[in-house]
Amino acid sequence: MNILYDLSAADPASGGAATVCRWFATGFVSAFPDHKYYAFTTDSFGKPFHAFRTAEDGENLLARMIVESRGRVDAVQIDGLSKVRGVYRNSFWTSPARLAWRRIMSMKRAMDRRRYPCVAGHFERVCAETAIDVIHCPAQQITPVPPHHSRAVPYVMNLHDLQHEHFPEFFSGDELKRRRTVWYASARASRFVVAAAKHVQDDIVRYTGVSRERVPLIPWGVPFDGEPLPGAVEISAVMKRYGLPDDFILYPAVTWIHKNHMNLLEAIAAVRREEHLDVHLVLTGGSGPFHTEVMRRS
């Protein structure tokens, strides 16, 4: 079987989605080596798919993508940018600029809608030439955006959670609209939508309208099963490289507001103050919109 992976979300800024993409692109090929694996990214349109045959090939592909995407992220992570955004969003004087920007973006979306059928047509041709049997989208949306996607090849996607329906206050109006349109259209365009937990399965059926028969419940496995544990030399080298203490708390999460960094910092401060314990916290997630506030509080 020829399996095509949609790795367009394998960006460090995507947090958990990038991790899921990585493990599918490396773990699945190790577990089922008889299949042929391909991948495409956001820059793959107009080019052949990336073929990989081993877990090492998948790691090399993702490593290159991560380096490229980090360069793009670092270029826009300007100190104090969140303050500028706050002024832009809340100031009376920037209202005309916001209105003009929305009109420009509306025109761009209209142009994209005319362009996507061409992109989808090329995408279908490449799928046919490569004899792709199924496309697996480990992230929350199909690329190109539905309904402009390959209709000849079935999609299987993972919809990890619909937290925005339960905590809409953590998301902007534009982000809520994007999730409810793009994510849900992706789910409806897929042959199967995999849910990792029963409550996620219930949410997918409720909010997307996809029948329960098309939403299989498949809990996550442990990605480190079969992986050799790091030895004392490796652990010592990592601790020395990053200047880590002997004991610390690790929290890997992008600094989005819903990841609750601020309450975690408050809890650490309370433990230090009331229990007189020297607690060290290590944050390894990427920089999100709430990054400046988290760094200021830490």
Domain that holds residue 142: 2-158
pLDDT at 72: 39
pLDDT of residue 112: 59
DSSP, res 181: I
Residue 100 token pair: 């003009």
Report the predicted TM-score, pTM, of the whole model to 2 decimal places. 0.71
* In a shared domain, residues 142 and 244: no
Domain boundary among 97, 132, 158: 158
Whether 45 is covered by a domain: the verdict is: yes
Domain stop point among 158, 176, 195: 158
Residue 69 lies in a domain: yes
**200 vs 222: CA distance, rounded Å:** 19
Are 147 and 7 in the same domain? yes
Can you give the pLDDT at residue 76?
Answer: 34
Same domain, 49 and 141: yes
- Look at residue 42 and tell me if it is in a domain: yes
- Asked if residue 275 and residue 148 are part of one domain, the reply reads no
Query: Are 57 and 149 found together in one domain?
Result: yes
What pLDDT, on a 0 to 100 scale, did the predictor assign at position 84? Answer: 47
Given the structure tokens 């052949």, which residue do they identify? 48
141 Cβ contact partners less than 8 Å away, ≥ 6 residues apart: 9, 157, 182, 183, 186
241/153 same-domain check: no
Q: How many residues does the chain have?
A: 298
In a domain, 166, yes or no: no
In a shared domain, residues 245 and 109: no
Q: What is the pLDDT of residue 215?
A: 97
Same domain? For 153 and 236 the reply is no
Classified as helix, coil or strand, 82 is: helix
Confidence at residue 210, expressed as pLDDT on a 0 to 100 scale: 94
Sign of the dihedral defined by the CA atoms of residues 252, 256, 259, 264, in that order: positive
Give the pLDDT confidence score for residue 218 in this predicted structure.
92
Which of 114, 130, 158 finishes a domain? 158
Do 6 and 142 sit in the same domain of this protein? yes
Pair 145, 56 in one domain: yes
Flag whether 170 is in a domain.
no
Residues 147 and 258 grouped into a single domain: no
The answer to the question of residue 80 being in a domain is yes
Same domain, residue pair 132 and 258: no
In the prediction, which pLDDT does 157 show? 92
In a domain, 23, yes or no: yes
Number of folded domains in the chain?
A: 2
* Token pair recorded at residue 89: 């969003």
Instruction: Compute the distance between CA of residue 203 and CA of residue 285 in angstroms, rounded to an integer.
Output: 27
Instruction: Give a yes or no: residue 203 inside a domain.
Output: no
Q: For each of the chain's 298 residues, which pLDDT tens digit applies?
A: 899 888 877 665 566 777 777 777 777 888 888 888 888 876 655 567 888 877 777 777 776 665 554 443 333 333 344 444 454 455 555 567 767 777 776 776 666 555 555 566 777 788 888 899 999 988 888 877 776 666 778 999 999 999 999 999 888 888 899 899 989 999 999 999 999 999 999 999 999 999 999 999 999 876 655 567 788 899 899 899 888 888 888 998 888 888 889 999 999 999 988 888 888 888 887 777 788 888 888 7
